[in-house]
Amino acid sequence: MPARRLTAGWVIPIEGRPIERGVMLVGEDGRIRAVGPDASVPRPPEALVENYDDGALLPGLVNTHTHLELTGLEGQVSGTDFAAWIRSVRELKAARSPEQFLAAARRGVASCFAAGVTAVADTGDSGTAIRALAEAGVAGVAYHEVFGPHPDQACDSLRGLQQSVAELARYATERLRLGVSPHAPYTVSGPLYAATSRWARAEALPLAVHLAESRAESQLLGRGAGAFADAWRERKIPLPSPLGRTPVEWLDDHGVLGEGTLCIHLVQAGRDDLDRIARSGSAVAHCPLSNRAHQHGDAPVAGLLSRGVRVGLGTDSVLSVGRLDLVAEARAAGRLAGLDAERGLALCTLEGARALGLEAQIGSLVPGKWGDCTVIRCAAGSDGRPPYQELLASGPDDVLATFVGGRDVYRAGGPV
């Protein structure tokens, strides 16, 4: 790939001061070689040159929670409560073929690029997302899910997970890691959580879990009550042990929390839970619009940030939010936590990379990192102030171009 020299009305490195009429040079290896004012950045004669006077160049966005294999199913899920909604999703997935899952994941990747997203933490159990992500050169983590609420299933479920991971490992790249995801406390037994966590740490695999998302989950673990508990009794599944714990406490009891763990949602969490998350070193994928769509409530994002917890933003699936718009998630998170526009943009770039342990490679425009970036329509004003507010008010329709390792993967109005 030839070197590429991109100029824009503004360059927003995230780490470092914004640069009005700035330039970024990406080398032939896909890594950033220089960022700065035009006069300070080399002009290799072989480099492709592009100019976006009407745009701001910033790091590619980092979406810390997606389900790309579910693309195309939006509007098809039914259910009067969350437990019923989950059952409906399971039925829709059962009707899809492997080929349909792969086609859906590929469309999901394309929608990410069109929204300025260049890095993804995806969870799914079809095994197709990591293939689609690898094909497109996306950075991030593909977490393969495992299920099994009955304790007697634990050994078989773990063996199945290990076999799937061995088969999917061929898709892992320098930019894309393979991880595992014991799905949620209402679909995974304590023994399976403990066994999966031990194995993941032994194999240095990142781990993700849906945690403390709904009130029904808290009722299941706290009192053995609620919709999930009723479903377990109907299927003759033993209730979780021990009861009387919050979801965060229960996962900690089973050795799940830790530096390599990404906790998804974390809505039903009190002060002691937040302290426990902080002590464990776990990260959090905050999905404010999905949380609100399911009427789960608002996650205590301000409390997480004040404790130094690594927090990134996620959209969840199209089944929950329709369109994957990470900047809209940043606006919602900012309102919840009282953040300014600059911090909001950091949450969906560098802070997301930190939540995934990838901050040395992506998330900011710094020489040596991958040349992952997006250009968002943004007219430079005459006051010389960085356009943080304008960028935070943008949406996917304002994305002009997206680049992965300096390679163009999206152009507004036409194919790359």
For 289-332, the pLDDT digits (tens) are 999 999 999 999 999 999 999 999 999 999 989 889 999 999 99
Tokens 């995974």, residue?
188
pLDDT mean over 342-359: 98
Q: How far is the C-alpha of 92 from the C-alpha of 101, rounded, in Å?
A: 11
What pLDDT was estimated at residue 382? 56
CA angle centred on 67, ends 29 and 187, rounded to 5°:
130
Q: Quote the strand ranges of 214-336, DSSP E.
A: 261-265, 283-286, 311-313
Spell 245-267 as b/e; 16+ CB within 10 A means b: bbbbbbbbbbbbbeebbbbbbbb
pLDDT category of residue 16 using cuts at 50, 70 and 90:
very high
Q: How far is the C-alpha of 222 from the C-alpha of 244, rounded, in Å?
A: 4
What pLDDT was estimated at residue 79? 65
Q: Quote the strand ranges of 67-215, DSSP E.
A: 117-124, 139-146, 176-182, 207-211
In the sheet that holds 261-265, the strands lie side by side as 61-66, 117-124, 139-146, 176-182, 207-211, 261-265, 283-286, 311-313
Task: List, for residues 238-283, the tens digit of each pLDDT value.
Answer: 999 899 999 999 999 999 999 999 999 999 999 999 999 999 999 9
Task: List, for residues 123-179, the tens digit of each pLDDT value.
Answer: 999 999 999 999 999 999 999 999 999 999 999 999 999 999 999 999 999 999 999
Pair 399, 376: CB distance under 8 Å: yes
Same fold, 4-59+365-411 and 61-355: no
Write the CB contacts of 180 (distance below 8 Å, at least 6 apart in sequence): 143, 144, 145, 146, 161, 165, 196, 199, 200, 205, 206, 207, 208
Residue 168 neighbours by CB distance under 10 Å: 18
What pLDDT was estimated at residue 81? 85
CATH superfamily of 61-355: Metal-dependent hydrolases (3.20.20.140)
What pLDDT was estimated at residue 379? 72
pLDDT category of residue 340 using cuts at 50, 70 and 90:
very high
Q: How far is the C-alpha of 206 from the C-alpha of 313, rounded, in Å?
A: 17
What percentage of residues in the chain have a pLDDT greater than 70?
Answer: 98
Task: List, for residues 220-230, the tens digit of each pLDDT value.
Answer: 999 999 999 99
Task: List, for residues 71-107, the tens digit of each pLDDT value.
Answer: 999 878 776 688 888 888 889 899 999 999 999 999 9
Average pLDDT, the chain: 95
Task: List, for residues 189-200, the tens digit of each pLDDT value.
Answer: 999 999 999 999
pLDDT category of residue 66 using cuts at 50, 70 and 90:
very high
What pLDDT was estimated at residue 229? 97
Give the tokens for residue 234: 């109907």
Answer whether 0.85 is exceeded by the pTM. Answer: yes
Q: How far is the C-alpha of 195 from the C-alpha of 158, rounded, in Å?
A: 7
Largest CA distance in the chain: 71
Amino acid at residue number 212: A
Pair 261, 280: CB distance under 8 Å: yes
- Annotation: CATH topology of 4-59+365-411: Urease, subunit C; domain 1 (2.30.40)
Between strands 407-411 and 399-404, the pairing is: antiparallel
Q: How far is the C-alpha of 341 from the C-alpha of 344, rounded, in Å?
A: 5
Question: Which of 217, 283, 225 has its CA nearest to residue 246?
Answer: 217
Pair 119, 139: CB distance under 8 Å: yes
Pair 154, 148: CB distance under 8 Å: yes
Pair 35, 41: CB distance under 8 Å: yes
Asked whether residue 232 carries a pLDDT value surpassing 90, the answer given is yes
Pair 11, 57: CB distance under 8 Å: yes
Pair 320, 293: CB distance under 8 Å: yes
Strand partners for 210: 264
What pLDDT was estimated at residue 416? 56
What pLDDT was estimated at residue 138? 98
Q: Tell me the domain boundaries of the chain.
A: 4-59+365-411, 61-355
